[in-house]
């Protein structure tokens, strides 16, 4: 990937409300059907989160967010776009036109757990839908 700026401090994995991560986190968390199918862990930057939530989690009242320090997983990240791919295709995404840029995908044998996750937050959808106003980490990397 040809990035014109620095890499993010954090990337994020969205977990549906029915799959609350245990505390303490295990070595390896269960992966989603989508991650299992595609062979990598789908993540988003803070700027991509709202699009991902609106596309795949619109019926959820809340989700859990795994905050992952980029430097912790950097050797396993591939920045990929989904231009021309529909969500149901391998590597597909809600952003079929590439407007949200490249997405960080973790290729490490589907391992995300206590070593990779910096923090777990709960994000509640507001009365107007998903918004950065309800972000679980205050001003830190607030989605826009």
Radius of gyration over every alpha carbon of the chain, rounded to an integer in angstroms: 14
Conformation bin of residue 37: beta by default, left when phi > 0, alpha when psi is -120 to 50: alpha
Q: Half-sphere exposure (CA, 13 Å, Cβ side) for 1?
A: 16
Instruction: Establish if 33 belongs to a structural domain.
Output: yes
Instruction: Establish if 24 belongs to a structural domain.
Output: yes
* Residue 104 dihedral angles phi and psi, to the nearest 5°: -80, 120
Instruction: Establish if 40 belongs to a structural domain.
Output: yes
Counted domains in the chain: 1
Instruction: Establish if 79 belongs to a structural domain.
Output: yes
Q: Give the domain extent around 89.
A: 10-128
Instruction: Establish if 134 belongs to a structural domain.
Output: no
- Note the pLDDT of residue 140: 87
- Note the pLDDT of residue 2: 46
- Note the pLDDT of residue 87: 56
- Note the pLDDT of residue 138: 87
| 51-60 pLDDT tens trace | 889 888 999 9
CATH code, domain carrying 74: 3.20.170.20
Instruction: Establish if 31 belongs to a structural domain.
Output: yes
- Note the pLDDT of residue 89: 59
Instruction: Establish if 29 belongs to a structural domain.
Output: yes
Instruction: Establish if 142 belongs to a structural domain.
Output: no
| 64-120 pLDDT tens trace | 999 999 999 999 999 988 665 555 655 555 555 555 678 999 999 999 999 999 999
Pick the more confident residue, 128 or 13.
13
Cβ neighbours of 59 (radius 10 Å):
8
Of the chain, the end-to-end C-alpha distance in Å amounts to 23
| 5-64 pLDDT tens trace | 589 999 999 999 999 999 999 999 999 998 999 899 999 999 999 988 988 899 999 999
- Note the pLDDT of residue 101: 77
């Amino acid at each position: 990937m040809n990035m014109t700026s620095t890499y993010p401090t954090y990337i994020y994995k969205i977990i549906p409300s029915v799959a609350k991560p245990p505390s303490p986190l295990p070595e390896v968390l269960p992966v989603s059907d989508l991650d299992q199918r595609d062979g990598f862990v789908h993540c988003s930057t803070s700027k991509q989160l709202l699009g991902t939530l609106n596309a795949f989690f619109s019926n959820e009242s809340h989700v859990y967010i795994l905050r992952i320090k980029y430097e912790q997983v950097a050797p396993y990240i591939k920045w990929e776009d989904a231009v021309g791919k529909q969500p149901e295709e391998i590597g597909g995404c809600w952003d079929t036109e590439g407007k949200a840029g490249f997405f960080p995908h973790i290729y490490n044998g589907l391992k995300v757990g206590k070593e990779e996750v910096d923090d777990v937050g709960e994000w509640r959808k507001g009365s107007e839908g998903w918004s950065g106003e309800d972000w679980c980490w205050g001003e830190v990397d607030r989605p826009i």
